[in-house]
Amino acid sequence: MSEPTSRPLWQWSATDIARATHAGEITAGEVTEAVLARMDAVNPALNAVVESLAEEARAEAAALDASDAPKGPLHGVPVTIKVNVDQEGHATTNGVAALKDLIAPGDAPVVRNLKAAGALIIGRTNTPEFSFRADTDNPLYGRTYNPWGRHLSAGGSSGGAGSAVMAGIGPLAHGNDIGGSLRFPASANGAVTVKPGLGRVPAWNPSQTAERGLLAQSMSVQGLLARSAKDLDLSMPALIAPDARDPFHVPLPWRGASPVPPIKVAVTRDDFGFGLHPEVATAIDKAASALSDAGYDVTEVEPPLAFETGEEGYRTLLGEVKALMGPDIATHGSETVNAIFDAYFELFPPYEGPDLLRAMAKRSHYARAWSLFLQDYPLVLTPFLLKPFFNAGRDAEGLDGARDALGQAHWSFIMNFTGLPAGNLPTHIADLPEGPQTIGVQIAGQRWREDLIVDAMRAIEERIPPVCTTLWERMG
């Protein structure tokens, strides 16, 4: 939708900012000042942006406005970067105090691609320690709060990004996802995201001194949080531009071949025995109805090996984490994060030794089963979490807290273990005793067909508007 000219610039979408800067109707400097003023107004209460880059952004905006060079697709669009990714001259802390002086010698591919597209980086956003929690808090920067209220976690690990983008601190926010770190904060804050599939967005940190584990390379992806799927459609083509520093990047265009309509969508409400909360069921029903109204062929059908894929995938990942990251977590992590990992390891006993190697090998078994299923159903509509989002700090409240926050998130883990793309968007605002909150649903899809997922989310948004306006009215 086009932005009314009466609406303040910080509320404008990335799509309308780019259109207006290309047309010369507004300048990059004007947009930057509006968003920086919004950051000054709301960030002190949220702690979403932990490093302001106001002066750098002003200088870059002035340079863009003075340049006669062709304008990139994100010309003048403000964006934030998560503190676990390299941005030259800034610390890549990963939320860990011991890394506060780890200054990046160069830009990661995702940062380079955003800059090349004309985006303006206005700040760096918070993440939990080691970027491995579904909530965002750490001893270095403190807690990030949800703009909907303090009755809710801001999610993790891209909690700073989710809080910032929904509060109006830029229309785009970089994040990443190894088990749900884009989709958890999307669900918590009411943002829209698509977790790219394996190999889709180039990734590497110039500051790293060792290669990541094989599963981390295969399951972790870079992406964006936005307020609408339309803005993802605008920005994702820039994000997937190739970079030779990632030798496993897949250089495919954003748009694949158009499928023959109607596109089949498999809908599942499988709760794996944990129970599906009525508000989550409502969100699924609304999404399915919107897709059906848009001409999709929506069918109730269960995907293959769903619980097993999620369970085995997370036990396998935690086996690698325990072996490769365990000593650093024990040495440099807080008591809180070490206790959380103890709970993780109890909930999902890590595979070790030859069992870990066998579990890694079996990954292709699950990916193959899903690939065959997706031949018949190119899209799958699932719950994300099985109940409304949890309160801040819930994952640190012993085994029950960790189970509430992460122990029932199999629909998230499935997509990382198989390397499939998965979107998340809110389709319902639940009015709960603790306060209002958005309920997000997940739409997964065929490998390298993020475009089909984003198209489906756009179709839903035409029938269920994004929640940002409701949030801003609530924030006052």
Give which of 88, 80, 81 is closest to 104, Cα–Cα. 88
- Look up residue 224 and give its two tokens: 């964006």
Please list the pLDDT of the chain residue by residue as tens digits (476 residues): 344 567 999 999 999 999 999 999 999 999 999 999 999 999 999 999 999 999 999 999 999 999 999 999 999 999 999 999 999 999 999 999 999 999 999 999 999 999 999 999 999 999 999 999 999 999 999 999 999 999 999 999 999 999 999 999 999 999 999 999 999 999 999 999 999 999 999 999 999 999 999 999 999 999 999 999 999 999 999 999 999 999 999 999 999 999 999 999 999 999 999 999 999 999 999 999 999 999 999 999 999 999 999 999 999 999 999 999 999 999 999 999 999 999 999 999 999 999 999 999 999 999 999 999 999 999 999 999 999 999 999 999 999 999 999 999 999 999 999 999 999 999 999 999 999 999 999 999 999 999 999 999 999 999 999 999 999 999 99
> Given this model, what pLDDT does residue 1 score?
38
Give 135-183 as a DSSP string.
Answer: S---TTT---B-TT-TTSB--SSSHHHHHHHHHTS-SEEEEEESSSTTH
Amino acid at 451: D
Amino acid at 220: S
Residues 6 or more apart whose Cβ sits within 8 Å of residue 462: 290, 294
Q: Which residues are catalytic?
A: 82, 157, 181
> Given this model, what pLDDT does residue 5 score?
60
Confidence (pTM): 0.98
> Given this model, what pLDDT does residue 6 score?
79
- The enclosing H or E element of 107 equals none
- Helix 363-376 to helix 410-418 angle (10° resolution) is 100
Distance CA 301, CA 429 (A): 26
> Given this model, what pLDDT does residue 4 score?
55
Antiparallel, parallel or unpaired: β 297-300 and 264-267: parallel
